[in-house]
Structure formats: C-alpha cells, structure tokens
Copies of this chain bind each other. A is one copy, B any other.
Amino acid sequence: MSDERTLDLLEVKIKELRELDKTDGINLSTEIARLEKKLEALRKELYANLSDWERVKIARHPKRPYSLDYIREVFTDFYELHGDRLAGDDRALLVGLARLDDRPIVLLAQQKGRSTQENKERYFGMTRPQGYRKARRAMSLAERFSFPVISLIDTPGAYPGLESEELNIGGAIAENLLAMTNLRVPTIAVVIGEGGSGGALAIGVADRVLMLENAIYSVISPEGAATILWKEKGRMKEATAALKLTAPHLLDLKVIDEAIPEPLGGAHKDPHKTASSLKESLLRHLAEVSDIPPKKLLATRYQRYRSLGSYHTLNDQQSGSSLA
C-alpha cells in the first residue's frame, strides 16, 4: 500500500504537469484529470481506516491548523483581551471578543507555536494558571453581557512546572470547571487538535462538546499512559488504542456531540475546507443552544455532567453483606 509521502509526491507531480499544460500550450488535461482521480482513490484507500495512532500523529502534525488559523477563517473582528488582572498574561491561551457571522461571542482559544521562538513564548501550547484565570475573567465578561462562549481546545496539557504549582494551577482548573457549569450563557467547546487532560477540560465544560475528526481528547497522553501502565514509553501505540481517545471512539461512547469531518489526510491538507466545516458546525450548534431558554440550558448542562460516567449498580441482595 502506498504511504502518505508517495501520495504527496504524486500531488506535486500533478501540479508540475498542470504548470506545463498552462505555459507551453500542450494539452494534458485528460491525463491530469486521470491522475487526479487516481490520487483521490489512493488517498481514500490510505486514509479510510486510519489507526488511532495515525490520528494522534495527524492531531499533532506540525502543519495542522492552530487556533489563530481558525480565528482568521471562521470568525471576524477578533479583539484579543490580555491578562488575568492577577499575575500575568498567558500566550498559550488567547481570549477575546469576536464575531461568528455577525454575532458577538467570547472566544477562548489555546494556541501552539510554530517556530522555536513562538513555542518558547507559548510554552509549547501548555496553558499556565494565568491563562486559565484569564479565561475565567472572559467568562465573567461573557456572562455580564450575554455573549456565548466558544472554546477552541488544543493543548498537550496544563503547563507543569514550579511556577504553575506556586500559582495553584490545580485550583485554577478546578475553579474554571465550577464556573463553566454555572455560566449563564450558551457554551460550545471544540477540540481542534490535542485535548490534553485537565488542561483541556479547564475550558471544555460546555453545552456542546465537539471534536474535529482527527483531534484527540484524553485523560492522559499515550506516552504518559505507556510509561505508567506498561512501564515503557515506547508502547504508546498500544496505550493509544486502549485509551479510545479519537473523535470516532468518543462519539460512539457518547462523550462528545459531533465529530466534524476533516479533508482526507487531515485538516492540514485543506485548512480552508476544515475551517468551513468547523464554521458550519459552530453555527448550527450555536443556533440550537441559543434557542433553549437560559434556565433549561443550565439544567440540561448540569444534567449532562451530573450523569456522566458508567458503572454497575448492584441490587440490594448483593449489597447486603458487610465486611471489614
């Protein structure tokens, strides 16, 4: 079976043929059309049954669109707000006002860096307490002025480190969880890349939880799980399979509401198309949740989280015996 690189090479060749076709007046259109069909078929074959581990690689692909890419394509008039008014301004979690088809919203968006310099500034996309508290401030603003809140989640996890602990990162995450369950405005969260544990959930409690098709969302990274459970970091593929961290799995498990389709091969193959799918989905869900009266919205959200998690219930006979 062909691999991704071969197909990318083929794509380049087709592009070169098209140039040739144009500049020299040679008619290659039939051949080009055939090649394109072939390429499409090969792609479908290649990507039809992506393994979970392959999806992890797509979710982390260095060319994958990040929040700012979607902010440019999906929203208009992004007006960034800085600072938690307490200790600093985290560059790995951006917040601001924006419009989604003319409707003002509050945006919370985790942002990875592309360059080394940008990654240093953005702590490789890992959110610090200053970021979570800035998000909380933005939530209060949203509530005061009835802006819906949309979260774009993309983080390997909360930033681990001395400063984070000194600023009570656990407490910051916990306070956000509580705040989001009570937020009196419609809320939508989308995992666009990596949904890394508590660091993702801290802006992910919402009326609708969506994922891009190749995004992942997990209680722990595959590498972390492999290290802890298999005592071997190298076994992250097995860990990945066990964790059921992909959008299709999580949709099956009814933990998320929708998996938003990506172009064949992943969002980075066609960022515009991905953005337009994301926008369509956001508009649809926002319209739905906006129609729900506030009281019912909150009750429904509460019920969603209250009822989360499966367990076995034992009948009274079974639970009658005592032991210590």
Residues of A bordering B, CB below 8 Å: 85-87, 133, 166-168, 171
Q: Find chain B residues with CB under 8 A from A167 CB.
A: 86-87
Q: Which residue of B lies closest to A85 (CB)?
A: B171
A166 touches B85 (CB 8 A): no
Bound CA–CA A168/B171 (angstroms): 20
Q: Find chain B residues with CB under 8 A from A87 CB.
A: 86-87, 166-168
Q: Find chain B residues with CB under 8 A from A86 CB.
A: 86-87, 133, 167-168, 171
Q: Which residue of B lies closest to A172 (CB)?
A: B86
Q: Which residue of B lies closest to A166 (CB)?
A: B87
A-B contact pairs, 12 of them (CB 8 A): A85-B168, A85-B171, A86-B86, A86-B87, A86-B133, A86-B167, A86-B168, A86-B171, A87-B87, A87-B166, A87-B167, A87-B168
How near does chain B come to A163, taking the closest CB pair, in angstroms? Answer: 10
Residue among A86, A133, A166, A171 facing the most chain B CB atoms (10 A cut-off): A86
Other A-B pairs, 4, CB within 8 Å; known A85-B171, A86-B86, A87-B166: A86-B87, A86-B168, A87-B167, A87-B168
Interface of A is mostly: loop
How near does chain B come to A3, taking the closest CB pair, in angstroms? Answer: 50
Bound CA–CA A166/B85 (angstroms): 10
Bound CA–CA A167/B88 (angstroms): 8
How near does chain B come to A267, taking the closest CB pair, in angstroms? Answer: 37
Q: Find chain B residues with CB under 8 A from A171 CB.
A: 85-86
Q: Find chain B residues with CB under 8 A from A168 CB.
A: 85-87
Q: Which residue of B lies closest to A175 (CB)?
A: B85
Bound CA–CA A171/B83 (angstroms): 12
Bound CA–CA A133/B133 (angstroms): 14
Q: Find chain B residues with CB under 8 A from A85 CB.
A: 168, 171
Q: Which residue of B lies closest to A167 (CB)?
A: B87
Bound CA–CA A166/B87 (angstroms): 6
Q: Find chain B residues with CB under 8 A from A133 CB.
A: 86
How near does chain B come to A81, taking the closest CB pair, in angstroms? Answer: 15
How near does chain B come to A128, taking the closest CB pair, in angstroms? Answer: 13
How near does chain B come to A162, taking the closest CB pair, in angstroms? Answer: 13
How near does chain B come to A299, taking the closest CB pair, in angstroms? Answer: 22
Bound CA–CA A85/B167 (angstroms): 8
Bound CA–CA A171/B137 (angstroms): 13
The 4 closest A-B pairs by CB, nearest first: A85-B171, A85-B168, A87-B167, A86-B86
Bound CA–CA A71/B300 (angstroms): 47
Q: Which residue of B lies closest to A129 (CB)?
A: B86
Bound CA–CA A86/B85 (angstroms): 12
Q: Which residue of B lies closest to A171 (CB)?
A: B85
Bound CA–CA A133/B166 (angstroms): 16
How near does chain B come to A124, taking the closest CB pair, in angstroms? Answer: 24
How near does chain B come to A268, taking the closest CB pair, in angstroms? Answer: 38
How near does chain B come to A178, taking the closest CB pair, in angstroms? Answer: 12
